[in-house]
Structure 1
Amino acid sequence: MTTVAPPTPPAAKSPPPVVRPRRSPKMRSAYPTWFYLPAAVIYGTLFLVPTFASFYFSLTRWTIFKSTFIGLENYTEFFQEPALVKGFVNTFLYAVVTSGLKVVLGLLLGILLTSQVRARGYLRSVVFFPVLVSTVGIGITFTAFMDPSDGVINKALSTVGVDGPGWLTDPSLALFSVALVDVWKGVGLATVIYIAGIVSIPQEYYEAARIDGAGPFQLFRNVILPLSWPATSTVIVLSLIGGLRSFDLIWAMTRGGPGFSSDVVASVIYKQYQAGFYGLSTAGNVILFLVVTAVVVPLARFLARKEVER
């Protein structure tokens, strides 16, 4: 007896795809354009217009009431400034020292303040507090602290039999003394960035490393250091920009002295402005802007490329 297979049911038809009508450009809402317009106006007013105006006035001899176009004469005269070479050397030295110390100390403090240390929240606020204090106020305070005869630092050293140096009066120490104060003030911001980077690392990486027998040093080298690279690149770029543009703390503590030993490019520019050479100081500002851009933009791209490779 032959068996007859039951007929197969017809396959269910899938519903036809829904075709949504494309909106023509005339039907698109103008909301995104108007949303960006206020920010664009503010950015253009506060940044673009002054920037292009600076480029123009750097080619003139100007006062508040009039200006005379003189071409590249201001740039030629600025590069003949006797203190300029010293200012450029000090600027790059100051930027490298401050940014390097902020990266190292910020990373170490970030690791400490994300561990199970007691009073962690209080210590975080203590580390970040100097960032909120006025730079000029800090400069005046540390100028008093670093006084060679009546300063608190040298008096504390004298109690243990050490003769304190002239922190701000010795030409070989003045710039580095200001750099240390700058690091004390700015390391809190670097620490906060590192805390955010370390906290964002998934716990699975720590657990896998501990299972493989990794100790604290191996955790730091193979987990924390590579995975906190975005924070490191951010701290490097921000602190380097701040170091290359440094002026207020240096001027509050040493005014570029003694002599020209702690002069940076920004203080040289300000001294020209004080002397009434407004076009010359404007040309110096343009040069400083171009120098910072030429250093920071390639460095930021290099660090971003390294971040992708990791």
Structure 2
Amino acid sequence: MTGHRPDTRDAGPRSAGSGLPARRAHATRARRKTGPAYPYALYLPAALVYTVIFLVPTAMAFYFALTRWTLFDSEFVGLDNFRDFLAEQNLSIGFRNTVVYAVVTSALKVVIGLGLGVLLTSKLRLRGFLRSLVFFPVLVSTVAVGITFSVLLKPDTGLVDKALALVGISGPDWLGDASTALLSVALVDVWKGVGLATVIYIAGILSIPTDYYQAVAVDGGGAWHRFRHVTLPLSWPATYSVIILSFIGGLRSFDLIWTMTRGGPGFTSDVIASIIYKQYQAGFYGLSTAGNVLLFVVVTAIVVPLNWFLGRRQVSP
């Protein structure tokens, strides 16, 4: 029995080609049906906390920056507060000191934190105790650290100058000299914060697969080669985190500087945050709020491009 049979010689390629968009559309519909990884209800508490703690105060700060306000009253003045704050004669000094402070502290935390991270992941006796010792300053109150080092750095009577005198060195007035005040506070900041950088580096170094180190050993490489070709590039995610966290902290730094120098001598160690606080102390609440908004804008304008640039350099094992 014979009948008409359609010619299917060329049907294979056409059906395959025509079926591909259909399969893609089906996969897209399937993804849409499955929805997010978790129910939306699980996101609600975090969204609520974020709104109450961050979004609402930020919106209120932007509004009150446009007013002259007290606890019981406010008067809308537009952009006058921003204009007056930008006209502050010490603002240029404060901005320069803020950037210098952030660069110095973050750079030293990266270098020292990486060195300590490598040391404390090696086969070292008392490694656990040394890790605790390095991290301990992070747990101490910043104000307590500032007061303690203010006493230690006093000229002639301070422990630092007395220790230098034993080897015949006459120490400067660390916090009273305009040329050393900001740097002295920055070094104290590094001492206090390098423990956190070290912990980040320890986590990053321990996450590197041992196969890479074994490959270097097979090729006859020594400790320097392991550090140069494995540890340094593959600990970049840790470096990225330390730079971002330290830089943001440096740009916003206030408590340690205020405790140790109060922006002095004169205005030579003032940063933007201390200038804002002085305006608040004088009762110019709207002006200080405008300063906080400007500081927020400055930090965002610096950190967002920095985050994008450093993120492009990520290296994964």
- For structure 2, the residue ranges without an aligned partner over 5 or more in a row are 1-25
Q: In the alignment, which of 62, 66, 74 is matched to residue 67 of structure 1?
A: 74
User: What do you get for the CA RMSD once the two structures are aligned?
Assistant: 2.1
Q: 1:168 matched to which residue of 2? A: 175
SS state of the match for residue 138, structure 1?
helix
Distance 1:23 1:120, change over 3 A: closer
Q: Is the 8 A contact 2:233 2:315 kept in 1?
A: no
2:96 to 80, 89, 97: 89
Other-structure match for 1:6: none
Which residue matches 1:271?
A: 278
Letter in 1 for 2:70: T
CA distance in 2, matches of 1:123, 1:309: 29
CA–CA distance in structure 1, aligned partners of residues 285 and 98 of structure 2: 22
Q: Distance in 1 between matches of 2:31 and 2:195?
A: 51
Instruction: Tell me what 1:226 maps to.
Output: 233
Residue deviations 1:71-125, cap 9 Å, x none?
1100110011011000000000000000000000000000000001110000000
Q: Which residue of 2 aligns with 1:41?
A: 48
Shift of 1:28: 8.2
- How far, CA to CA, are the matches of 1:215 and 1:76 in structure 2? 59
For the residues of structure 2 that align with 1:71 and 1:187, how far apart are their CA atoms? 42
Q: CA offsets per residue over residues 19-42 of structure 1, 9 Å max, x none? A: 9x97997x989x722211111111
Superposed displacement of residue 302, structure 1:
1.1
Tell me what 1:11 maps to.
none
Cα deviations by residue, 1:152-191 (Å, 9 ceiling, x for unpaired): 0001111111111100001100000000000000000000
State how many pairs are aligned: 290
Aligned equivalents of 2:81 and 2:163: distance in 1?
49
2:68 match: secondary structure:
strand
Distance 1:232 1:22, change over 3 A: closer
1:308 Cα offset (Å): 5.2
- In the alignment, the residues of structure 1 paired with residue 32 and residue 307 of structure 2 have an alpha-carbon distance, to the nearest angstrom, of 40
Q: Decide whether the 8 Å contact of 2:237 with 2:315 is kept in 1.
A: no
Q: Does 1:50 align with 2:57?
A: yes
Distance 2:304 2:137 in 1: 28
1:54-83 per-residue CA deviation (whole Å, 9 max, x = no partner) reads 011101111111111111100110011011
What does the per-residue CA deviation read over 1:220-244, in whole Å, with 9 as the maximum and x for residues that have no partner?
1110000000000000000000000
Cα–Cα, structure 1 residues 206 and 28, in superposed 2: closer, same or farther, change >3 Å? closer
Which residue is equivalent to 1:13? none
Pair 217,59 (structure 1): closer, same or farther in 2 beyond 3 Å: same
Q: What secondary structure, in the 3-state scheme, does the structure 1 residue paired with 2:155 have?
A: coil
Greater shift, 173-182 or 64-73, is seen at: 64-73
In the alignment, residue 232 of structure 1 is paired with which amino acid? T
Q: Which residue of 2 aligns with 1:262?
A: 269
* Other structure's SS at 1:68 match: strand
Q: Which whole-Å CA distance do the structure 1 matches of 2:88 and 2:30 have between them?
A: 64
What CA distance in whole angstroms lies between the structure 1 residues aligned with 2:252 and 2:109? Answer: 16
Partner of residue 302, structure 1: 309
2:298 to 276, 291, 296: 291
Q: Are 1:200 and 2:207 counterparts?
A: yes
- State the alpha-carbon separation in 2 of the partners of residues 309 and 109 from structure 1: 22
Matches of 1:24 and 1:157 in 2, distance apart? 70
Counterpart residue type for residue 278 of structure 1 = Y
Amino acid in the other structure paired with 1:86 = I
Contact 2:236-2:315 within 8 A present in 1 as well: no
- 1:193–1:57: structure 2 CA closer, same or farther, 3 Å change rule? same
Identity of aligned residues (%): 66
| Rounded Cα–Cα distance in structure 2 between residues aligned with 1:150 and 1:28 | 68
Amino acid of the structure 1 residue aligned with 2:204? G
CA shift at 1:214, angstroms? 1.1
Task: After TM superposition, list the pairs within 5 Å mapping 1:11-160 onto structure 2.
Answer: 32-160=39-167
Q: After the TM superposition, which parts of structure 1 deviate over 2 Å for at least 4 consecutive aligned residues?
A: 21-25
Structure 1 spans left out of the alignment, 5+ residues: 1-18
Do the aligned residues in 1 keep the contact of 2:204 with 2:237 (CA within 8 Å)?
A: yes
Contact kept, 8 Å, 2:234 with 2:316, in 1: the verdict is no
